[in-house]
Amino acid sequence: MSAELIRRALQGDRVIATLRCYDDAAGTTVEAEVTPAGADAPIRRGPYRFASAHEAFRFVQDAMLAFEYLGCTIG
């Protein structure tokens, strides 16, 4: 059974970024959707592949911390 983790960075009621972390055959993958300032639709980034779930989760944590520093709330 594989696990999935989804985190969102929000400014007010607008989703700025969504990171999805999940296990696959190659290890653990993180996919991102980021909505630039002034854009209406998100841009897909990744996939970013990691050898372990721990490394992938740390990447997600660090990214969400950066969004917090920029004034976003995490959901």
Q: CA-CA distance, 29 to 37, in Å (whole number)?
A: 26
* pLDDT band, residue 37 (cuts 50/70/90): confident
Write the CB contacts of 6 (distance below 8 Å, at least 6 apart in sequence): 18, 19, 20, 21
* pLDDT band, residue 3 (cuts 50/70/90): confident
Q: What is the CB neighbour count within 10 angstroms for residue 67? A: 20
> Model-level pTM greater than 0.85?
yes
Parse the chain into domains and list their residue ranges. 4-74
- Mean pLDDT in the chain? 92
Nearest C-alpha neighbor of 34 from the set 42, 46, 25, 22: 42
Q: CA-CA distance, 14 to 9, in Å (whole number)?
A: 9
